[in-house]
């Protein structure tokens, strides 16, 4: 090939794109990563990282302010919101600079600009100032991610997006969060913990509609006890400015007023700009599940939120890894292997109590007519829970009644996001309950809760009363 | 049989004994548990639970007092040591009452008294007042645990045991901890975090001699940075009272002075009292690894610290489960199956940074001449570490170079005790590095560190620089 050429051009530097870029560069391919804004994507710059930073701060505050029964007393913590926001930017900046170093060290060339496919094996990079140049490449990975969905029921600007909701100029006195998915419950808990009066509205009859229902119910009860006003089955029909704030009206006739409204109503794909790119993406989508579209000598692939709209960062990372594997095969042998769907992707919410789960839910098993055995452990019975004064929590294991294979693990309680790796290994490897119990878990640790739930699934609970099993 | 009889008499109500008792009662056997003091043993009453409670308090204090860079400021926390000690007793009491309820609900009869074997299938229970009665049983489980080893170098009473070290009447101004194993490093960190000036002496050239050496080294550096005075290769030869405290002298001529000295120098078995019991225990030990001694119609078994002196609570629980399985088989069929050693038992220390590991260490692999591949992840590169401002941490995976099987995982860093369940599943199931990587780990979570170390073992690190591998 003549002129500037690359083995792979990756368009979009979020978790799916940067992961694939690093991997391919490690395999010694020549990789160009085109990112219109900052590497790290939504997750690092406007999503998971800033939200987890704020949530960490809220956790520390909560723990310190409730330490008195232990004999440790703190005066109420003072929050300097401007400092908080500066610190969040520092965290983002330091992680981004780390990621840039990793990309550079791997040999990925990162270029700031808008990338678009213009022809077979050719992309165009436009920098901010309208300057364009063309680049040739053997393969193109589209990974332009997603953007927050805009609610249909509100005039422009009145309802903040979930991204904007992380960077409020000041702490509001009252807040309405529309949407009780992961992002919504995190925002609601975060601000409630910082002293804001919060109302959380969810269209469906329960929070976290994708989670196991028992987990949702326990979270709901805990949120209400923590003073969050939760309104379920509440479809918002109108949002209006009033003289002293913003009014949210629901289908059932309810009216809620707050000074700030955040809409956490999901995300939608952020397709590339030009017609050729869009057409290529359409071809890739039509060829699902292969995720590849061969255009003459060039392979076009897509990964991450661009394909689904709303995913998780870890799901996108797993896809980035798999996409890189496929592209590597294609670059080597001219053929791409079938796309291997990653193991079940865990869901999570970093509120308090935390939520994490992976694999089949009880409702899904019921709908599929699968015979399952359920083992439950209420974390309040455990040493760590008594020590930390935490009562709200449930770990639930679902196993195939015949084979004993672990099909799903669903958890709500302190630190359960840290335990999800263990749950993921158990589920993704198709281990049985008895195999899962061979592992010795540290006493006293939160991870014992998974062991206890596994024992309960065998009908032999150890550190808990017999709750029955089905 | 005539008179009072039981299927199993368990002597000792610590983790090994109570676990086996619950399991056997669940299998509908008639179980008597004889405990001379309180159920829960050392772990619940004088060990893991009170120490983890104090450590939790110290953690909350540390996190709150270092929150200022986040924009959250607390005045220095006030510790009311009397309230702290009362709270620790409440935690112990509530967990003990929970355990008593579980034992009762399972059908275990708990009797307060000293249990001893007096003849084939006969034990004697002596209550505190010298009243004795005899009980017949088909099987006897000896699980009388361990007691702190007394240091040889000190006059009686001058050096507190590690158990006494948890219940100090007041916070000392300075403290010397002799022994840098798990218990010693926990005590040293705990009191240092509460403002006590702490010196930690270890006879061996490193802390936590049973851990992987790199893990020990990182802990050591972190301790020194946190202001703990660590003296390695320091064998204590003498402890003397002085006019203003206690003086500790080492073989190398060093002298350290403190107001309180705690000896965390290991534990020794606490064998039963009478000659017949001791003889039975000897028979059981001689028949290792079967752990069973058949005396006519009666089976005598032993489990837990009584056999080794110094174990972990989770190791004892795993043994209790296995012993119950064996006893159940024996009671059913008159034959006992071979003892199945539990999977590798994790080691741990709940100081900060936390330590946890399972499986083979790098030194052990080297000594055995095993070809291994090592993958490392420095946690400071991760999102959670940047968010929490925690820099000290390493996760290290050891895999067989030929088969890829994960042989050991060793960790030092925040929350790693919670991740040990995942490490235990990977090691105990003999999964390969690639199998371990099929699991999708939540982003951003501490558990990703295990994934990153697994990637590093493949030579394909993702969120970290290439540190090289062997």
DSSP letters for A214-271 = HHHHHHHHHHHHTT-EEE-S--EEEEEEETTEEEEEETTS-EEEESEEEE---EEE--
Q: What is the pTM of this model?
A: 0.96
Task: Report chain B's mean pLDDT, rounded to a whole number.
Answer: 94
CA distance A383 to A267: 40
What is the per-residue pLDDT for B470?
A: 42
Query: Is A52 in contact with B91 (Cβ distance < 8 A)?
Result: no
- Interface test with chain B among A79, A168, A422, by most B beta carbons within 10 Å: A422
Chain A contact set for B102 (CB, 8 A): 463-465
pLDDT at B468 over 70: no
Clarify whether residues A133 and A61 are in a common domain. Answer: yes
pLDDT at B120 over 90: yes
**Quick one: CA torsion of B31, B37, B42, B45, rounded to 10 degrees?**
110
What is the per-residue pLDDT for A341?
A: 78
In the block, tokens 């079967």 appear at B290
Nearest to B346 among A346, A348, A442 (CB): A442
Clarify whether residues B48 and B140 are in a common domain. Answer: yes
B-chain residue closest to A48, CA distance: B444
Clarify whether residues A252 and A109 are in a common domain. Answer: no
Chain A contact set for B421 (CB, 8 A): 419, 422, 439, 441-442, 445, 447-448, 450-451
Query: Is B71 in contact with A49 (Cβ distance < 8 A)?
Result: no
Instruction: Enter the tokens of residue B51.
Output: 């120490």
pLDDT at A202 over 70: yes
> Residue B10 gets which letter from DSSP?
E
Q: Which domain holds residue B422?
A: 353-457
Please give the share of chain B, as a percent, with pLDDT higher than 70: 98
Model confidence at A468, pLDDT cuts 50, 70, 90, reads very low
Nearest to B343 among A321, A422, A439 (CB): A439
Residue B468 lies inside a defined structural domain of this protein: no
Residue A153 lies inside a defined structural domain of this protein: no
Query: Is A415 in contact with B420 (Cβ distance < 8 A)?
Result: no
- Where does a domain end: B333, B367, B388? B333
What is the per-residue pLDDT for B3?
A: 64
The answer to whether the CB of A156 falls within 8 A of the CB of A179 is: no
- Considering its fold, how many domains does chain B have in total? 3
- Interface test with chain A among B71, B93, B378, by most A beta carbons within 10 Å: B71
Chain B contact set for A26 (CB, 8 A): 460
Q: What distance in Å separates residue A445's CA from the closest CA in chain B?
A: 6
CA distance A374 to A380: 19
Nearest to B424 among A315, A440, A446 (CB): A440
Residue B340 lies inside a defined structural domain of this protein: no
Per DSSP, helices labelled H in A107-198 are 182-193
What CATH number has the domain bearing residue A106?
3.50.50.60
Clarify whether residues A236 and A361 are in a common domain. Answer: no
pLDDT at A311 over 50: yes
pLDDT at B441 over 50: yes
The answer to whether the CB of A387 falls within 8 A of the CB of A414 is: no
B-chain residue closest to A81, CA distance: B71
- Where does a domain end: A264, A287, A318? A264
CA B293 to chain centre: 28
Mean local confidence (pLDDT), B77-92: 97
pLDDT at B401 over 50: yes
Clarify whether residues B39 and B166 are in a common domain. Answer: no
Task: Report chain A's mean pLDDT, rounded to a whole number.
Answer: 94
Q: What distance in Å separates residue A172's CA from the closest CA in chain B?
A: 17
Q: What distance in Å separates residue A63's CA from the closest CA in chain B?
A: 7
Nearest to A436 among B61, B425, B443 (CB): B425
A-chain residue closest to B427, CA distance: A439
Q: What distance in Å separates residue A450's CA from the closest CA in chain B?
A: 9
Residues A204-217: b if buried by 16+ CB within 10 A, e if exposed: bebbbeebbebbbe
Query: Is B26 in contact with A313 (Cβ distance < 8 A)?
Result: no
Nearest to A348 among B426, B442, B462 (CB): B442
pLDDT at A43 over 80: yes
Chain B contact set for A451 (CB, 8 A): 421
Instruction: Enter the tokens of residue B434.
Output: 């690639």
Clarify whether residues A27 and A13 are in a common domain. Answer: yes
Clarify whether residues B142 and B282 are in a common domain. Answer: yes
ipTM: 0.96
Clarify whether residues A251 and A134 are in a common domain. Answer: no
The answer to whether the CB of B349 falls within 8 A of the CB of B357 is: no
In the block, tokens 């120490």 appear at B51
Please give the share of chain A, as a percent, with pLDDT higher than 90: 86
Q: What distance in Å separates residue A39's CA from the closest CA in chain B?
A: 13
Residue B344 lies inside a defined structural domain of this protein: no
Query: Is A444 in contact with B48 (Cβ distance < 8 A)?
Result: yes
The one catalytic residue in B243, B443, B463, B466 is B443
Residue A56 lies inside a defined structural domain of this protein: yes
Identify the bridge partners of residue B354 per DSSP, sorted by sequence position: B413
Could you give the angle at the alpha carbon of B406 between the alpha carbons of B400 and B411, nearest 5°?
120
Three-state SS annotation for B202-252: CCCCCCCCCCCHHHHHHHHHHHHHCCCEEECCCCEEEEEEECCEEEEEECC
What is the per-residue pLDDT for A463?
A: 87
**Counting Cβ atoms within 10 Å, is residue B3 exposed (0-12), middle (13-18) or buried (19+)?**
exposed
> Residue A391 gets which letter from DSSP?
-
pLDDT at B378 over 60: yes
Chain A contact set for B56 (CB, 8 A): 70, 387-388
> Residue A346 gets which letter from DSSP?
P
DSSP string of A66-101? T-GGGTEE-PPPEE-HHHHHHHHHHHHHHHHHHHHH
Residue B218 lies inside a defined structural domain of this protein: yes
B-chain residue closest to A194, CA distance: B72
Query: What does residue B221 show for φ and ψ, rounded to 5 degrees?
Result: -60, -40
- Interface test with chain A among B443, B460, B462, B466, by most A beta carbons within 10 Å: B443
Nearest to B77 among A74, A95, A440 (CB): A74
Distances (CA, A) of B407 to B216, B417, B427, B437: 19, 18, 6, 15
Segment B337-358, tens digit of pLDDT: 888 877 999 999 999 999 999 9
Model confidence at B97, pLDDT cuts 50, 70, 90, reads very high
CA distance B468 to B470: 7
- Interface test with chain B among A40, A68, A423, A439, by most B beta carbons within 10 Å: A439
What is the per-residue pLDDT for A3?
A: 65
pLDDT at B467 over 80: no
CA distance A78 to A171: 13
Interface size A-B, in CB pairs within 8 Å, comes to 299
pLDDT at A403 over 60: yes
Indicate which residues of A carry an active-site annotation.
Answer: 443
The answer to whether the CB of B347 falls within 8 A of the CB of B355 is: yes
Q: What distance in Å separates residue A282's CA from the closest CA in chain B?
A: 28
**Counting Cβ atoms within 10 Å, is residue A25 exposed (0-12), middle (13-18) or buried (19+)?**
buried
CB atoms within 10 A of CB B288: 11
Clarify whether residues B302 and B394 are in a common domain. Answer: no
Segment A104-129, tens digit of pLDDT: 999 999 999 999 999 999 999 999 88
Segment A328-363, tens digit of pLDDT: 999 999 888 888 877 999 999 999 999 999 999 999
B-chain residue closest to A442, CA distance: B314
Clarify whether residues B27 and B139 are in a common domain. Answer: yes
What is the per-residue pLDDT for B454?
A: 98
A-chain residue closest to B424, CA distance: A439
Chain B contact set for A410 (CB, 8 A): none
Query: Is B318 in contact with A443 (Cβ distance < 8 A)?
Result: no
Clarify whether residues A252 and A276 are in a common domain. Answer: no
CA distance A387 to B87: 9
Instruction: Enter the tokens of residue B68.
Output: 């200022």
What is the per-residue pLDDT for A1?
A: 43
Residue B469 lies inside a defined structural domain of this protein: no
Segment B127-165, tens digit of pLDDT: 988 899 999 999 999 999 999 998 888 888 899 999 999
pLDDT at A466 over 90: no
CA A397 to chain centre: 22
Coil vs helix vs strand at B69:
helix
Clarify whether residues B439 and B426 are in a common domain. Answer: yes
pLDDT at B466 over 70: no
pLDDT at B288 over 90: no
Q: What distance in Å separates residue A88's CA from the closest CA in chain B?
A: 8
- Where does a domain end: A264, A297, A316? A264
Q: What distance in Å separates residue B130's CA from the closest CA in chain A?
A: 33
Please give the share of chain A, as a percent, with pLDDT higher than 70: 98
CA distance B390 to B9: 49
Residue A154 lies inside a defined structural domain of this protein: no
Instruction: Enter the tokens of residue A387.
Output: 């020590």
B-chain residue closest to A461, CA distance: B23
Before A409, cis peptide (omega within 30)? no
Mean local confidence (pLDDT), A54-61: 98
Segment A244-300, tens digit of pLDDT: 899 999 999 999 999 999 999 999 999 998 999 998 999 888 877 778 888 999 999
Chain A contact set for B57 (CB, 8 A): 67, 70-72
Gap between the terminal Cα atoms of chain A:
64
What CATH number has the domain bearing residue A425?
3.30.390.30
Mean local confidence (pLDDT), A396-415: 98
């Amino acid at each position: 090939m003549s002129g500037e050429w690359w083995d792979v051009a990756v368009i979009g530097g979020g978790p799916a794109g940067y992961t694939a870029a690093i991997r391919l560069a490690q395999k010694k391919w020549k990789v160009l990563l085109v990112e219109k804004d900052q590497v790290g994507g939504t997750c690092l710059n406007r999503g998971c990282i800033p939200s987890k930073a704020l949530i960490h701060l809220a956790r520390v505050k909560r723990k310190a302010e409730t330490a008195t029964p232990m004999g440790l007393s703190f005066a109420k913590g003072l929050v300097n919101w401007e400092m908080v926001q500066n610190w969040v930017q520092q965290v983002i900046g330091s992680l981004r600079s780390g990621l840039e170093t990793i990309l550079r060290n791997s040999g990925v060339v990162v270029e700031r600009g808008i990338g678009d496919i213009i022809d077979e094996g050719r992309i165009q990079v436009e920098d901010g100032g309208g300057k364009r140049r063309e680049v040739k490449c053997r393969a193109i990975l589209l990974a332009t991610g997603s953007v927050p969905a805009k609610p249909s029921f509100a005039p422009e600007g009145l309802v903040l997006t979930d991204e904007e909701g992380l960077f409020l100029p000041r702490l509001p006195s009252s807040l309405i969060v529309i949407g009780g998915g992961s992002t919504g419950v995190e925002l609601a808990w975060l601000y409630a913990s910082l002293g804001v009066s919060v109302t959380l509205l969810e269209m469906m009859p329960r929070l976290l509609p994708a989670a196991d229902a028992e987990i949702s119910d326990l979270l709901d009860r805990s949120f209400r006890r923590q003073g969050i006003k939760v309104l379920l089955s509440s479809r918002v029909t109108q949002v209006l400015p009033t003289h002293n704030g913003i009014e949210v009206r629901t289908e059932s006739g309810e009216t809620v007023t707050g000074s700030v409204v955040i809409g956490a109503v999901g995300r939608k794909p952020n397709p590339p700009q030009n017609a050729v790119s869009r057409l290529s993406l359409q071809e890739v989508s039509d060829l699902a599940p292969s995720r590849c579209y061969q255009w003459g000598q060039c392979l076009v692939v897509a990964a991450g939120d661009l394909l689904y709209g709303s995913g998780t960062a870890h799901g996108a990372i797993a896809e980035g890894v798999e996409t890189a594997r496929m592209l590597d095969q294609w670059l080597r042998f001219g053929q791409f292997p079938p796309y291997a769907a990653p193991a079940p992707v865990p869901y999570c919410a970093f509120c308090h109590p935390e939520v994490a789960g992976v694999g089949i839910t009880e409702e899904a098993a019921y709908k599929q007519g699968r015979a399952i055995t359920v083992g439950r452990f209420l974390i309040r019975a455990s040493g760590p829970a008594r020590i930390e004064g935490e009562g709200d929590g449930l770990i639930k294991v679902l196993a195939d009644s015949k084979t004993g294979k672990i099909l799903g693990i669903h958890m709500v309680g302190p630190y359960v996001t840290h335990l999800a790796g263990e749950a993921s290994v158990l589920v993704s490897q198709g281990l049985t309950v008895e195999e899962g119990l061979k592992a010795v878990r540290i006493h006293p640790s939160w991870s014992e809760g998974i062991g206890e739930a596994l024992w309960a699934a065998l009908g032999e609970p150890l550190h808990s009363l017999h709750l029955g099993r089905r």
